[in-house]
Every structure is written in structure tokens, then in C-alpha cells.
Amino acid sequence: MSGGLSILVIDENKIRASIIEQGLHDAGHDHVILVHQMEGLVRQISEINPDVIVIDLENHNRDRLEHMFQVSRAVHRPIAMFVDRADSHSIDAAVDAGVSAYVVDGLKRERVKPILDMAISRFRAFSKLAEELEEARTELADRKTIDKAKGILMTSRGLSEQEAYDLLRRTAMNQNRKIIEVAQSLVIASGLLGA
């Protein structure tokens, strides 16, 4: 992600939005879109489809903050949020909502670029962790399915664990399929047959 980013700035206060916009332009970001209307925000974000979102909340209340956190959960993008004050509840809620950078009383033109860079970096790191976690979960589920299929073969054919695995592997190779696909088919068929 570089200067060619599409950056959406969400701020009802046009003066504060212009500070962020100028900071982004100073940092070499030319594609900056400003949104001042908070109604239908998820729809607007979907239509604009930005790479990064910057939200500025001046004098926010808990309802407004919660609305922004709901928006954060709905879109999977780096989000930098500027607020004028914070408490531990709102900081925890921001983290839970996936806000990449939560900056309290830090809206200065020269700080926009480093904060945006940090938000993007954190978003990438969390996204990578989420992908790795999902891969690990899938791998574990696949392993359980293969073990179940081996168990079915061991019981129904009197095979050892290694023989059952070898049979799954040979069948997968002969059918030009993955072992997990063969194992899933066997588990499903066994369930249908009441085995």
C-alpha cells in the first residue's frame, strides 16, 4: 500500500476533515475522499470501496462511538480513528471492533501519515494472524476427518492405522483428488450407511 491508496476520511466537522486531508496530501496521497454524512455509512463505504478509512470523532458520545465500532466490524480494512477523549471501555471496544489505530487528542497534520502507516501495518499483521489461525483450524478439522476415515477403514476392513492411511492416499492418487476429499466422502458415506 503506497501513495496510490484510496483513503476515505469520515468526519462531520469539515475543518478537522480538511486537516486530515491536507496531512494525507502532504504525505503524497492524492486519492482522498471526504464523507461528512454519517447516515448510511456502511453503504457509502461499500460504494466508495476505499483501501483505508480514517475516522475523526470530535465530541463523541457513546452511541456515536458504538455506531463507528459497528461500521469498523462491517468493513475489513485498515481503520485509523481520531477521538478527542477516551476511556478504557472505548479503547477495549475499538480493539474488539478491529480499529487499527485509535488516537486520542492527536489530530495534527504532520501526525496523519505516521498514524496511517501504523494503522495499515497493524491491519496487515492482524489479518495475517487471522489467516494463519483459520489455516490452523482448517488443518485441525481436516486431520480429525482423516483420523475418522482411518478409524472407519480400520474397523470395517481390519486394517492397521498405517494401512488405512495408505489406502486413503492410494485412493486419492488414483482418483486425482486430495486425501481430505476422499476422507470426507468416506465419512459421509459411512454416516449414510449407518456404519
CATH of residue 181's domain is 1.10.10.10
Mind listing the pLDDT tens digit for each residue in 13-65?
888 888 888 888 888 888 988 988 878 888 888 888 898 888 887 766 667 66
Range(s) of the domain holding residue 54: 6-131
The structure's pTM equals 0.63
Cβ atoms of 7 and 94 closer than 8 Å: no
Cβ atoms of 31 and 93 closer than 8 Å: no
Report if residue 1 sits inside a domain. Answer: no
How far apart, in whole angstroms, are the C-alpha atoms of residue 160 and residue 152? 11
For residue 32, give the H/E element and its range. strand 31-35
Cβ atoms of 48 and 75 closer than 8 Å: no
Mind listing the pLDDT tens digit for each residue in 134-163?
999 999 999 999 999 999 999 999 999 999
Report if residue 146 sits inside a domain. Answer: yes
Q: How many other CB atoms are there within 10 angstroms of residue 90's CB atom?
A: 21
156 and 115 in a single domain? The answer is no
Boundary residue ending a domain (111, 131, 151): 131
CATH number of the domain within which 48 lies = 3.40.50.2300
